[in-house]
């Protein structure tokens, strides 16, 4: 690493931006590993003594598609790095450093008959572990986190969860699907598809293609498809049922949709849409009701519905080939008159155009 580059990392914001730019340019797994090793300060990495810069680089890399602005696409090298033995070994060694300091706490849960330290020492990667094995490791991390002297494991646990969401292994996918709370699962799907997973962030903005568009919907569809075909198919039905696609209303409805087992519940539909009256008062407070009301009625209703139809139409065109291969169909019957209506979107009376 050059002196000028080293100096730029003394400024934390500059370091973050520099890493982000570098990640965009990295085409091979080897380049990414070299960047990590240079930041960690060692060419032959000893995982027990990794400094903060190396750890921060891994964290930035894993959160690269969680910026709430657009759906980020990793390079082929980036995708390979996410599934690599190198990254798996990084987490195995980082976690084992904590576990070795308090073995009694690590093994105190009698619900698991898994040798967690043995798992971390073995040659198998996280992609090759079962749901129960990953659950045992996470459970041990949770127990250590309760002790004040292990407070730093909280950051590692969060980064590790971001890592699990990227893995293609059946065990990791099953763990996230079956053992992570539905609300947290939904928020991660949203945040890695270009959303800020807080409805209030978009309050009062109505249907806005910068906030919600077909690309973000397709990203959610693909992520759900990874975990369960039924989840993805129900999501398509969920999108079709929504009459207006404002981000505030969509995020709130998607969170409920996830908590309902990724099923569209007719009891919570009104006028072919998730209504303010239909939300469960035990799940959402008055402030959430107000946010949805603002997003829904602050702008011209006809304009909002027309824009929503365009987004849904383009989304369905992109996912239909996949659904047909799976034996499902979301084909939408459209007359020539209806198709033409997509090209006759009324001007937004509040846009000044």
pLDDT of residue 333: 41
From CA 162, how far away is CA 184, in angstroms rounded? 12
pLDDT of residue 304: 83
Residue 224 phi, psi dihedral angles, 5° rounding: -65, -35
| Rama region for 285: left / alpha / beta (φ>0; ψ in -120 to 50; rest) | beta
pLDDT of residue 88: 97
pLDDT of residue 191: 84
Asked if 50 contacts 40 with a C-beta cutoff of 8 angstroms, the reply is: yes
pLDDT of residue 335: 38
pLDDT above 60: residue 235: yes
Q: What is the pLDDT of residues 157-180, one digit of tens each?
A: 989 998 999 999 999 999 999 999
pLDDT of residue 192: 82
pLDDT above 90: residue 62: no
Q: What is the pLDDT of residues 101-129, one digit of tens each?
A: 999 999 988 778 889 999 999 999 999 99
Where do runs of H (alpha helix) occur along 41-197? 52-62, 76-82, 85-99, 103-106, 116-121, 131-145, 153-166, 170-179, 182-191
Q: How does the average pLDDT of the chain come out, rounded?
A: 78
From CA 232, how far away is CA 239, in angstroms rounded? 11
Q: What confidence tier does 5 reach under pLDDT thresholds 50, 70, 90?
A: very low
Average pLDDT on 31-35 reads 87
Question: Would the pTM of this model clear 0.85, i.e. be above it?
Answer: no
From CA 339, how far away is CA 346, in angstroms rounded? 15
pLDDT above 50: residue 212: yes
pLDDT above 70: residue 332: no
| Rama region for 271: left / alpha / beta (φ>0; ψ in -120 to 50; rest) | left
- Helix-strand-coil percent breakdown of the chain, rounded to 5? 65, 0, 35
Joined together, the tokens standing for residue 285 give: 């407070």
Question: Percentage of the chain with pLDDT > 90?
Answer: 41
């Amino acid at each position: 690493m050059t002196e000028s580059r080293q100096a730029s990392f003394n400024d934390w914001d500059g370091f973050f931006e520099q890493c982000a730019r570098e990640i965009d340019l990295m085409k091979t797994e080897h380049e990414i590993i070299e960047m990590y090793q240079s930041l960690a300060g060692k060419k032959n990495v000893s995982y027990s003594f990794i400094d903060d810069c190396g750890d921060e680089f891994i964290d930035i890399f894993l959160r690269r598609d969680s910026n709430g602005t657009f759906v980020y696409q990793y390079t082929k090298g980036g995708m390979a790095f996410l599934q690599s033995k190198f990254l798996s070994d990084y987490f195995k060694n980082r976690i084992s450093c904590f576990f070795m300091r308090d073995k009694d706490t690590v093994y105190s849960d009698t619900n698991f008959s898994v040798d967690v330290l043995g798992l971390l020492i073995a040659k198998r990667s996280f992609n090759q572990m079962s749901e129960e094995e990953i659950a045992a490791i996470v459970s041990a991390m949770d127990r250590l986190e309760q002790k004040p002297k292990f407070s730093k494991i909280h950051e590692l646990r969060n980064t590790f969860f971001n890592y699990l969401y990227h893995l293609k292994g059946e065990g990791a996918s099953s763990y996230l699907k079956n053992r992570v709370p539905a609300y947290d699962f939904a928020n991660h799907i949203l945040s890695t598809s270009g959303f800020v997973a807080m409805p209030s962030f978009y309050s009062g903005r109505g249907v806005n293609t910068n906030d919600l568009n077909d690309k973000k919907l397709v990203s959610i569809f693909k992520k759900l498809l990874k975990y369960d075909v039924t989840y993805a198919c129900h999501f398509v039905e969920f999108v079709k049922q929504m009459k207006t696609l404002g981000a505030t209303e969509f995020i709130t409805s998607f969170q409920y949709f996830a908590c309902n087992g990724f099923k569209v519940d007719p009891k919570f539909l009104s006028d072919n849409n998730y209504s303010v009256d239909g939300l469960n008062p035990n799940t959402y407070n008055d402030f959430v009701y107000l946010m949805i009301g603002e997003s829904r009625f602050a702008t011209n209703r006809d304009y909002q519905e027309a824009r929503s139809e365009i987004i849904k139409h383009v989304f369905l065109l992109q996912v239909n080939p996949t659904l047909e291969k799976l034996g499902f169909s979301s084909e939408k019957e459209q007359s020539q008159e209806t198709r033409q209506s997509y090209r006759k979107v009324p001007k937004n009376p509040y846009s000044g155009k």
